[in-house]
Structure 1
Amino acid sequence: MTKILFTTPCQPYPTQFENDSLTDVASQRLCKGQDIFTLRGHVHCYGLHLIAQNISQPSILLEYPSWDYFEKEVRKGYDFVGISFFQTCTDMVLDMCKIIRRVAPETKIVLGHYGALTFNAAFPEDYKKEHADYVCIGEGIKFFRTLLGEPLDSPISQSYLPRCGDNLPWLDRHPGGNNSFVIAGLGCPSGCDFCATTEMHANERIMLYPPDKVFEEIKRIYRSFPNTVQVTVYDEDFLKYTEEVRELGRLVQEDSEFGLRKINWFALSSIESLNQYDWDELALTGFGGTFIGIESKFAPTSGYQKRTGDAKETIEELQKRGITCLGGLMLGFDFHDRINIHEDINYYISLGLVSHQISRVSPLPGTPLWYRLKEENRLFDIPWVDQNFYGGGMKYKNFEPHEVEALVLESLKKYYQTWGPSLMRQFRVDLNGYEYCHASSHRLLREERAERHKESCERLYPLLRASEHFAPNGIVRRKIRQLAERYTKNFGTPAPSQEIMSYYVLLKAFQAKIREGIDPINRHPKQEPFKIYRYDKNNGQSEPPYKVLYPNKDYGYEFYRDWRGIKEQGFTKVLDYIDKILAPDKAAKTTTSMDVRCR
């Protein structure tokens, strides 16, 4: 039997821009620069799990291993070790390759993910052969099936992909998973020159899961994990494929078990792809949120096709219907000068996105942008740890690198001072969604989707008081108070339990503010817990296809989760009792788990 080991790079990981954690997308990118309201979360390495689930051989998957354990595991003599990594971790992965060569010289090394694209482009052939036997550029399931001599046309399956989640760290230091994942496709045919995904898949899109399979997995997720807030349907531009989106929407609308009342899916999109639909049509599919690569106001006239269309109108129409919009802005394009870059920043801020990613144009090795800048002698030799969204690594046409970096920080600050915390922006979008759907003539919007937005508003209400108290300025404070007025107008006086929870959150916010002044949270970038996933290939279809092991017992974490569970259970019972006594006409409107979403 062939022995296979999959792994991520070993920890500890290098920190990112502003000393952020590499594995925390919320604080590193999407909610960056929001004072105590910056969310923190965790993600998993879905590509490795997808491959492990779709080969016939058993395998071991190490997620965020320690160096000692990695070497110990490699000594067991695997036939293949597959390492998935970002370019930021290149130095670490090269050291891992040296360990494998030293302690298990017969083992074949396979490198994958965006780091493999970097490795393939940046190093000479002799150096690459010294460190790796195979470099996977493209879709990993097909690559490994070919490597193992397995049928390429076997059906693809995915089930129980590990869940991720975000929360305010002063409400929950270790947020549990409330966001699940389904992978519909890989790659993108739009051909943006800075995009590693496009280059990884040769400007093509590969469908992995048809809409009926996506829908089946979404339903299984909601059955297995009733606390699921949202399901991410991953594809680089899923909304581009109208037949798939409309079929998924049809299945959601016809479903009597969950339907629009519960199903809430998130996907990446573009301005071009979104404008293929009627806006109400999108709301009727269960589409709840999207990340849009806006990149620049000037992108549509600068060769970036998928940015074509009116971004402001598109985002306004979506968020009016309760569809959350996130978006990216990149600073430092060749067309940016010292005047229009500020026009770009102000335009982007005017969009009122719920969450934002403001970064520098950065040439990832292996992309067309990187090759062009290399020919023009405009690449800087920067450390691998700085090869990221904020690292730059290039000579900008009209700016010094530190100027672009300063503009990123200035833009983040301005966004927060204009719109306030992402949690309150999400609250506004859910209020919009409730008001629009409640007034709609379409039964499914009025009776089902409106209820989902109402639940989300009730869940977020306890955060209002703290957000208003610690708002960055009076303008934002006024906006938050107006949200409170809209809430009361739509749903009546909040339940006593909601008011009690809001004072509890305010107290925790005071504590967080004091701690931040004494010991800023970014002094302690988090590292993820080391997990082993054992894919034995003998699990039933109704259970996860893996067993999870924790080699390093964290008794502090276990005590925290157990004690938190006891507190939440007790607090919920007390609040329910208070509501029954003081407001028997109101159903329980809050959850002490404080699950949040800005997607």
Structure 2
Amino acid sequence: MTKVLLTSICKPIGEKYGDGPSVGYELLHGQVTRSQGLFSPRANHLQYGLEYIGENLQTPCVVLHYPSKSELIKELKKGYDYVGVPFVLSTFHRMKEVVALVRKHAPKSKVILGGYGTVLADEQLKPHSDYICREEGVGFMRRLLGEPELPVSEFRHPLVTSKMSIFSAPASNTGLIFGGLGCPHGCDFCCTSHFYKRQHIRLLATGRDVYAVMERYLDHDPDMAFVILDEDFLINKTRAMEFRDCVMRSGKAISLFVFGSFKALSQYQTSELAEMGIDGVWIGYEGTRSGYAKRAGREPAELFADLRKHGIMVLASMILGLDYQNPDIIREEFDGLMALRPSLSQFLIYGPTPGTPLYERVMKEGRFRDEYKDDVEAYCRSSSGFTCMLKHPTMSYAEVEGLQRWCFDSDFQRLGPSIYRVVETWLDGYRTLRDSENPILRAKAGRFAKDIRKSYPIFLPGRLFGPNPRVKEWIARLEGQVYDELGAPTFSEKLMALASVGMAAYTSAALRLDVSQHPKLVRTPYRMPERGWEDLHVWESLPEKVSTSEFNLRVEFEHARRRVWLRLEGRLHGSQAERFWAQVSEAMAQRRTQLVFDFKKLQVSEAKTLKAMRERFSQYRDTVRVVLPKLAHAHPELLILARIFEQYRGSGSGM
């Protein structure tokens, strides 16, 4: 039996361990809030593309996120035919370490390299690989493994979450929605755009498709927030507005972060963005004279103010080292950005990546930094956005890098910690939307109020540990405004605030001492014949046996909890229903597991459709849960199920 291992690079990583300044497990802490110390929100950045590939293969597969070398060696010794290793330029040296372990401990395994690091030439990569993937990964892997071609429209979307903490305490749970790959804008520095030849591969073709994935996440956690991973989700207005219609029909206010350009955002009224549930957007501010087409549209001052008014926080990214810039221009553009008061800011140095127009121009003009010209590994290690790689017309390398540090530090000192800037934006949104005539916007205001209330405990640490007296005073004023709108803290909230002071102090010490800064191994098996999942094929084969033109069964596996989801869609009746329940019962008898029946999209027209289910599965009440439509509109048979079986209620479910 062929087996595949897909693994990230090994921990520990970080500047302390010989990596570039922003290399680590976290995007926010490494590249956005890096100067904010204990106030920096923390969230590990999984190699989610590996989960996507693992979900869409037929071959047994295991995915590893950040194993230690010993953990990787232990896994390799289980015997794999293929080992896939994704990397970016700044982790080129780390990839080589992983490949060396594969060659030593699993010499028969074939190595596949993938990720944006594969923009390097074959001569740099072939010594470390048997295959190189420079395209969409699912299609590449299925061809390599001899599996049938699978249209993008039939890709299965995995459920991958990211948990954020503030002051080392859990703060939010975010579901990742993979909307598409690549970007049509084609900015001269952008690797993701040119890797896919300025094409956009739409993984979720319609707004309904996007919302359907969101619904699956909400089944697991009704309060989950979301991010759509798509370089410019809003550029396709038809898809985005169809998604908005789905949100409005649901009546449920969601929390959504997207990527959007000035050009894309300018297509919408800001109220339409709020109706979609958007309360965060990453905007490429770049440089005021950069000339990128994506900056066309509404004036930044007008757009940022309107977004903030509607409770939409902005993460603005600015580029340093553009040809026209000098220290005075950079400070002027920085001051302009600070006047817009973004909730979060990123400052990266203009850098050449192979395959981009900027790289070709820099090489043609002989402007590549001398020490990196002939040293590929040194170049790659420094390709983290924090090293000036090209000869600038007017500034030295040290000037550009020093200005970058100044920007990060000054952003923190002027505007304060981002976690409070976000709360301020939520408060603005609450004030704007609470009296709206639009029900979904009023619901959104209610969600803002709930999130603001959850933030009560963070104010005291801000007043005590803020970066300077002016920022501390601003946090105190914001706290007062929040209490005026939503009420004074309760006794328990006051206790939580005191506890937050202790957690903030612990977070500060942990940062200084490098304690608890490395994630635990995350291991996801797909179709593997392991203990507890030996008969996984029993469930995987069900859809082919029972699906008809009227009825469709979708089977999903929640690996972390060893749980199987059966989503019933369409009409199930008569003898077909009898056969279906018999086959599910047979599967349960072979491999008793935690089972969730999702009836939200099942059309029930006959009482006997679910009678067999009650009769066959009552004995499994301890391991079976049900997900039902709104009971007010449900068939009486579903109401009976609600009395027999416990309803699945997300991450807090007792099962």
Change (3 A) 1:316 1:69: same
**Cross-structure match for 1:297:** 288
CA contact (8 A) 1:19 1:525 kept: no
Given the alignment of the two structures, is residue 544 of structure 1 paired with residue 557 of structure 2, yes or no? Answer: yes
Given the alignment of the two structures, is residue 373 of structure 1 paired with residue 362 of structure 2, yes or no? Answer: yes
Q: 1:160 & 1:429 partners in 2: Cα distance?
A: 32
CA contact (8 A) 1:252 1:285 kept: yes
Change (3 A) 1:311 1:484: same
**TM-fit CA distance, 1:329:** 0.9
**Cross-structure match for 2:164:** 166
Residue by residue, what CA displacement relative to the aligned partner does 1:76-109 show, whole Å, maximum 9, x if unpaired?
Answer: 5533221111211112222433444455555332
Identify which range, 214-223 or 94-103, moves more after superposition: 94-103
Letter aligned with residue 262 of structure 2: I
Change (3 A) 1:510 1:532: closer
**TM-fit CA distance, 1:400:** 1.4
Q: SS of 2:402's equivalent?
A: helix
Residue by residue, what CA displacement relative to the aligned partner does 1:155-203 show, whole Å, maximum 9, x if unpaired?
Answer: 43445533212223x443xx48711101011100100111110111110
Residue by residue, what CA displacement relative to the aligned partner does 1:19-71 show, whole Å, maximum 9, x if unpaired?
Answer: 66611222112222123212222121111111111122221112212334434
**Cross-structure match for 1:306:** 294
**TM-fit CA distance, 1:277:** 0.4
Q: SS of 2:322's equivalent?
A: coil
2:267 pairs, out of 268, 276, 294, with 276
CA contact (8 A) 2:230 2:259 kept: yes
Change (3 A) 1:193 1:148: same
Given the alignment of the two structures, is residue 184 of structure 1 paired with residue 172 of structure 2, yes or no? Answer: no
Q: Which runs of 5+ in 1 are unaligned?
A: 550-599
**Cross-structure match for 2:242:** 247
Letter aligned with residue 55 of structure 1: L
Kindly report which structure 2 residues correspond to 1:300-449, keeping only aligned pairs within 5 A, or say none.
Answer: 301=291, 304-309=292-297, 310-380=299-369, 381=372, 382-446=378-442, 448-449=443-444
Q: 1:398 & 1:326 partners in 2: Cα distance?
A: 29
Q: SS of 1:164's equivalent?
A: strand
Letter aligned with residue 177 of structure 2: V
TM-score in terms of structure 1 length:
0.82
Change (3 A) 1:391 1:527: farther
**Cross-structure match for 2:231:** 236
1:521 pairs, out of 500, 508, 512, with 512
**Cross-structure match for 1:559:** none
CA contact (8 A) 2:260 2:281 kept: yes
TM-score in terms of structure 2 length:
0.75
Q: 2:157 & 2:110 partners in 1: Cα distance?
A: 28
Q: 1:99 & 1:51 partners in 2: Cα distance?
A: 23
Identity of aligned residues (%): 28
Q: 1:428 & 1:485 partners in 2: Cα distance?
A: 11
**Cross-structure match for 1:6:** 6
Q: 2:29 & 2:219 partners in 1: Cα distance?
A: 30
**Cross-structure match for 2:579:** none
Q: 1:199 & 1:426 partners in 2: Cα distance?
A: 33
**Cross-structure match for 2:54:** 52
Q: 2:437 & 2:2 partners in 1: Cα distance?
A: 59
Q: SS of 2:161's equivalent?
A: coil
Change (3 A) 1:33 1:547: closer
**TM-fit CA distance, 1:227:** 4.6
Kindly report which structure 2 residues correspond to 1:207-226, keeping only aligned pairs within 5 A, or say none.
Answer: 207-210=202-205, 211-226=207-222
Change (3 A) 1:391 1:495: same
Identify which range, 431-440 or 64-73, moves more after superposition: 64-73
CA contact (8 A) 1:160 1:545 kept: no
Q: 2:454 & 2:161 partners in 1: Cα distance?
A: 20
**Cross-structure match for 1:93:** 95
**TM-fit CA distance, 1:383:** 4.8
Kindly report which structure 2 residues correspond to 1:30-49, keeping only aligned pairs within 5 A, or say none.
Answer: 30-49=32-51
Change (3 A) 1:311 1:189: same
Kindly report which structure 2 residues correspond to 1:63-74, keeping only aligned pairs within 5 A, or say none.
Answer: 63-74=65-76
Kindly report which structure 2 residues correspond to 1:564-583, keeping only aligned pairs within 5 A, or say none.
Answer: none
Q: SS of 2:520's equivalent?
A: coil
Kindly report which structure 2 residues correspond to 1:476-487, keeping only aligned pairs within 5 A, or say none.
Answer: 476-487=471-482
Report 1 or 2 for greater relative contact order, CA contacts < 8 Å, sequence distance ≥ 6. Answer: 1
Identify which range, 70-79 or 56-65, moves more after superposition: 70-79
**TM-fit CA distance, 1:13:** 2.1
Residue by residue, what CA displacement relative to the aligned partner does 1:314-368 show, whole Å, maximum 9, x if unpaired?
Answer: 1211111011111111111111123211111111222211111112112223322
Letter aligned with residue 318 of structure 1: L
**TM-fit CA distance, 1:453:** 0.7
**TM-fit CA distance, 1:296:** 1.4
Q: SS of 1:163's equivalent?
A: strand
Identify which range, 368-377 or 178-187, moves more after superposition: 368-377
Q: Which runs of 5+ in 2 are unaligned?
A: 373-377, 528-535, 541-553, 563-655
**Cross-structure match for 1:571:** none
Identify which range, 470-479 or 340-349, moves more after superposition: 470-479
Q: 1:389 & 1:161 partners in 2: Cα distance?
A: 30
Change (3 A) 1:429 1:547: closer
1:135 pairs, out of 132, 142, 145, with 132
Identify which range, 374-383 or 8-17, moves more after superposition: 8-17
Identify which range, 290-299 or 536-545, moves more after superposition: 536-545
Letter aligned with residue 59 of structure 1: C
1:25 pairs, out of 24, 27, 42, with 27
Change (3 A) 1:473 1:14: closer
Q: CA RMSD in A?
A: 2.6
CA contact (8 A) 2:23 2:90 kept: no
Change (3 A) 1:69 1:2: same
**Cross-structure match for 1:570:** none
**Cross-structure match for 1:82:** 84
Q: 1:445 & 1:237 partners in 2: Cα distance?
A: 24
Letter aligned with residue 137 of structure 1: R
Q: 1:40 & 1:47 partners in 2: Cα distance?
A: 21
**Cross-structure match for 1:198:** 193
CA contact (8 A) 2:511 2:517 kept: no
Q: 2:261 & 2:513 partners in 1: Cα distance?
A: 32
**Cross-structure match for 1:461:** 456
Question: When the two structures are aligned, how many residues end up with a matched partner?
Answer: 529
Change (3 A) 1:148 1:416: same
